[in-house]
């Protein structure tokens, strides 16, 4: 038996992206079922996994466990596959990765609310609020410290769950043209060219029409490729 993963729209569902990267970026086999938000199929597909689940991603583990949150998925896979590098082996880097994952999971609400993930377009003319700018400042500080402490190219040295959890936020910075430093922009570019993120974005473009809930009253531009 293998893992079963339920995700939603690849272009828009940031938590689905995190759940999928927990598998795909580390070579862990998984059977993936995809649904679309804001339609009847979404509720039906959720119910097929669990009558209590209300969000994606969802994972059924081979042992029968149901993982109903990206954080639970990340921790369960790191524990089940200690040789896959989901978390750094070095204790200091591992502690930093755990802290980064936890803060991303619970923080940056202003940025996440004002700037939903959208991998289909870029927007011009977005004006970030003071709260959004404060979130960006915190992100920059976290990234700068981690990159300096562990030497890059990823937050804790090699690609880890810390990068998985910040991947959707990194795309938001370019979708909305948000102001960041050159060092942060270089880290974002590594995400945009990561083979698994490129694969994910390309698949999302074929999933159907744009979701109206993610429209902005702003001029469009091409989504940045790097």
How far apart are alpha carbons 109 and 151 in whole angstroms? 28
pLDDT-based confidence at residue 71 (cuts at 50, 70, 90): very high
pLDDT value of residue 226? 83
What are the Cα distances from residue 213, in Å, to 52, 75, 116, 143, 174? 25, 31, 10, 30, 19
Asked if pLDDT for residue 3 goes beyond 80, the answer is yes
pLDDT value of residue 225? 83
Asked if pLDDT for residue 53 goes beyond 90, the answer is no
Give 61's contacts (C-beta < 8 A, 6+ positions apart): 3, 67, 76, 80
Other Cβ atoms less than 10 A from the Cβ of 214: the count is: 16
> Which candidate, 133, 121, 108, places its Cα nearest to that of 171?
121
Strands 30-34 and 58-60 come out as unpaired
Asked if pLDDT for residue 59 goes beyond 80, the answer is yes
How far apart are alpha carbons 169 and 172 in whole angstroms? 5
Tokens 């209300």 correspond to 54
pLDDT value of residue 94? 98
For residue 197, is it left (φ>0), alpha (ψ between -120 and 50) or beta?
alpha
> Which two structure tokens, joined as six digits, stand for 30?
């998984």
pLDDT-based confidence at residue 100 (cuts at 50, 70, 90): very high
- Mean pLDDT of the 70-93 span: 97
pLDDT tens digits along 153-212:
999 999 999 999 999 999 999 999 999 999 999 999 999 999 999 999 999 999 989 999
Are the C-beta atoms of residues 166 and 111 closer than 8 Å to each other?
Answer: no
pLDDT tens digits along 16-47:
999 999 999 999 999 999 999 998 889 888 88
Greatest alpha-carbon span in the chain: 49
pLDDT value of residue 186? 97
What average pLDDT is seen over the chain? 96
In percent, how much of the chain has pLDDT > 90?
A: 91
Asked if pLDDT for residue 1 goes beyond 80, the answer is no
pLDDT value of residue 11? 98
């Amino acid at each position: 038996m293998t893992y079963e993963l339920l995700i939603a729209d690849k272009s828009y569902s940031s938590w689905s992206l995190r759940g999928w990267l927990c598998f795909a970026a580390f070579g862990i086999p998984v059977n993936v079922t995809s649904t679309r938000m804001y339609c009847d199929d979404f509720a039906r597909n959720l119910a097929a996994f669990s009558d209590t689940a209300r969000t994606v991603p969802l994972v059924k583990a081979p042992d029968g466990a149901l993982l109903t949150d990206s954080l639970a998925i990340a921790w369960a896979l790191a524990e089940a596959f200690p040789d896959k590098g989901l978390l750094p082996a070095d204790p200091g880097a591992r502690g930093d990765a755990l802290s980064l994952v936890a803060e991303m999971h619970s923080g940056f609400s202003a940025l996440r609310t004002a700037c939903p993930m959208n991998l289909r377009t870029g927007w011009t003319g977005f004006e970030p609020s003071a709260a959004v700018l404060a979130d960006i400042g915190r992100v920059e500080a976290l990234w700068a410290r981690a990159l300096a402490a562990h030497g890059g190219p990823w937050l804790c040295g090699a690609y880890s769950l810390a990068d998985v959890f910040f991947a959707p936020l990194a795309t938001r910075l370019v979708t909305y043209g948000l102001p960041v430093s050159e060092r942060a922009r270089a880290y974002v570019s590594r995400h945009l060219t990561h083979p698994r993120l490129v694969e994910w974005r390309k698949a999302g473009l074929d999933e159907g029409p744009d979701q109206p809930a993610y429209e902005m009253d702003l001029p469009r531009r091409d989504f940045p490729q790097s």
